[in-house]
Amino acid sequence: MQLQYVLFTKHSFKDTTTTMKKLYRRSFVKQLFTGVSGALLLSSYKSNDPQNLNINLKVDDNSEAFWESVKAQFKFAPNLRYFNNGSLGSCPLSVQNDTNAYRATLDAFPSKYMWGGWNDEKEAVRQKVADLFSVSNEEIALTHNTTEGMNLIAKSFDLAPGDEVILINHEHKSSVIPWTVFQAEKGVILVRPVIPILPKTVEEIVAIYEAAITPKTKVISMCHSINTNGMVLPVKEVSEMAHKKGILVAVDGAQAAGMFDINLKELKCDFYAVSAHKWLFAPKGIAVFYAKKSSQNYLKPLIVAKGYKDQSIRRLENYNTRNLPELLGLGSAIDFINNIGKEKISNRSYALKHYFREQINAIPKLNLKTPEDDRLSCAIQTLEVVGKNVVSVQKELIDYYGIDTRPMSAYELNGVRISFAIFITKKDIDYLVDALKTIAG
Ligand SMILES: Cc1ncc(COP(=O)(O)O)c(C=O)c1O
């Protein structure tokens, strides 16, 4: 028997669109939002207004009621349980409001704001990003997505035929394709060691990387968290090992930054690319690119335009006209994160993982395909319903229960990838587990 039949009619999605249009209009005229239960009065919410946040997002409150109020900051389609943050994040209403207001400001005087009027605001966002990741503002470029960051890295290097770059078998196409097109096609060798789906220790992974190194190795390009099953790779340990041998380390942090607390200085990698529209809850098409000061000289901008002689990291984001409202919206997203607390978000990510895994471990037909150790996974878990094809499981979840997940067939995972972002509550997990039990039969 189905737990609950949720029919996603065209009507319900149309309603959402209408709601969002209304929402935009309201934010524009700065009217009060009402009817958001347990949440802030979002129209009066300024993301950096501590007074509002002291009332509702108290740092010492870790109750489910608190997390329900965090959830209320996000507006999903009716009846949708969004366990698919790994594909794309959602902006909390404060970020939507602020970004919409920035769009209105820009459209009221386009030339002023696009060409210098927001320089200070842009630098303030860079500083917020730098503070969030514990690095200098001179090490942060504000780009568009992780794919761009990995292209920038792979295209920059002047490698010779026979030089080697290490990318494990699980790397995302956003790294594999740039390294293939810009380097392998001219004779650079991409070394692809295999990492098991369920490694037991950090040391085991570092040893696989170390064994793949030869005197020809120039760069290791690695994900921080693998997109298929959420496995977290030991960036710090690999960087320490690689640097001793003069090898640079480039990291794709799309599925890590924002999910758990990251100190880029301590991670020690040379480059780190992040899509802010996933786990940082920023507007779409905004990203963070970190380059360690001492490694910046390796990089060449993907795009050159006026100002290209700038020697600072800003030369990597020199696009001429660009999406400034979304860029400033990243500042609001970081305010939102800081108002909750990045450590608190990190702890919550692990708590949701544990809550989920404890229940799943007790159900024989549900098979976790993500390493258990907290050093090896966090808020992305991939799960197989034994005896069922993942495509039909994913379809049942969305069609009958309104639960959005991502099917993962690669590496024989045959599992749905489940993401536990901060708008997921324990009640949502109970609902998901009940649905999975019913599907498993
Ligand atoms: C690990 C990883 N890297 C890169 C990307 C690409 O992200 P974007 O499209 O924002 O560049 C994704 C997207 O899901 C990802 O999971």
Task: Calculate how far, in angstroms, residue 135's C-alpha sits from the geometric centre of ligand 1.
Answer: 23
Contact 414, 384 (CB under 8 A): yes
What integer is the mean pLDDT of 263-280?
A: 98
What integer is the mean pLDDT of 159-168?
A: 98
Task: Calculate how far, in angstroms, residue 173's C-alpha sits from the geometric centre of ligand 1.
Answer: 8
CA-to-CA distance for 301 and 314, rounded, in angstroms?
10
CATH number for the domain including 132? Answer: 3.40.640.10
pLDDT at 420: 98
Kindly indicate the confidence band of residue 35, based on its pLDDT and cuts at 50, 70 and 90. Answer: very low
Kindly indicate the confidence band of residue 122, based on its pLDDT and cuts at 50, 70 and 90. Answer: very high
Residue 389 lies in a domain: no
CA-to-CA distance for 80 and 291, rounded, in angstroms?
38
Pocket test for ligand 1, best of 85, 87, 88, 146 (most atoms within 8 A of CB): 146
Report the SS3 class of residue 260. Answer: strand
Decide if pLDDT at 57 tops 90.
no
Cβ neighbour number for residue 312 with a 10 Å cutoff: 11
pLDDT at 56: 54
Residue 368 lies in a domain: no
Pocket of ligand 1 (CB under 6 A): 145-147, 172, 174, 223, 227, 252, 254-255, 275
CA angle, corner 439, sides to 438 and 440, nearest 5? 90
- 178 is in which domain, residue-wise? 112-335
Decide if pLDDT at 13 tops 50.
no
Residue 282 lies in a domain: yes
Task: Calculate how far, in angstroms, residue 87's C-alpha sits from the geometric centre of ligand 1.
Answer: 8
What integer is the mean pLDDT of 99-105?
A: 98
What integer is the mean pLDDT of 428-440?
A: 98
Classify 102 in phi/psi space as left (phi over 0), alpha (psi -120 to 50) or beta. Answer: alpha
Averaged pLDDT score across all residues of the chain: 89
pLDDT at 306: 87
Q: What is the DSSP string of 203-234?
A: HHHHHHHHHH--TTEEEEEEESB-TTT-BBP-
pLDDT at 12: 36
Residue percentage of the chain with pLDDT more than 70 = 87
Kindly indicate the confidence band of residue 343, based on its pLDDT and cuts at 50, 70 and 90. Answer: very high
pLDDT at 28: 26
pLDDT at 307: 83
Kindly indicate the confidence band of residue 60, based on its pLDDT and cuts at 50, 70 and 90. Answer: confident
Decide if pLDDT at 83 tops 90.
yes
Decide if pLDDT at 100 tops 80.
yes
Residue 325 lies in a domain: yes
pLDDT at 99: 97
By the 10 Å C-beta count (0-12 exposed, 13-18 middle, 19+ buried), 22 is classed as exposed
Pocket test for ligand 1, best of 151, 152, 169, 172 (most atoms within 8 A of CB): 172
Q: Which atom of ligand 1 is nearest to the CA of 148?
A: 11
Contact 297, 271 (CB under 8 A): no
Residue 428 lies in a domain: no
Helix boundaries (H) for 367-425: 390-401
Q: What is the pLDDT of residues 191-225, one digit of tens each?
A: 999 999 999 999 999 999 999 999 999 999 999 99
pLDDT at 32: 24
Q: Which atom of ligand 1 is nearest to the CA of 252?
A: 3
Residue 395 lies in a domain: no
Kindly indicate the confidence band of residue 58, based on its pLDDT and cuts at 50, 70 and 90. Answer: low
Contact 239, 268 (CB under 8 A): yes
What integer is the mean pLDDT of 340-362?
A: 97
pLDDT at 25: 34
Residue nearest to atom 7 of ligand 1 (CA): 146
Residue 293 lies in a domain: yes
Q: What is the pLDDT of residues 301-319, one digit of tens each?
A: 999 998 889 999 999 999 9
Residue percentage of the chain with pLDDT more than 90 = 85
Domains of the chain: total: 1
Kindly indicate the confidence band of residue 128, based on its pLDDT and cuts at 50, 70 and 90. Answer: very high
Q: At what angle do helices 64-71 and 426-440 cross, to 10 degrees?
A: 90
Place of tokens 């290490």: 166
pLDDT at 308: 87
CA-to-CA distance for 277 and 99, rounded, in angstroms?
13
Instruction: Extract the tokens encoding 423.
Output: 């708008």
Q: Which atom of ligand 1 is nearest to the CA of 226?
A: 1
Residue 24 lies in a domain: no
Task: Calculate how far, in angstroms, residue 170's C-alpha sits from the geometric centre of ligand 1.
Answer: 13
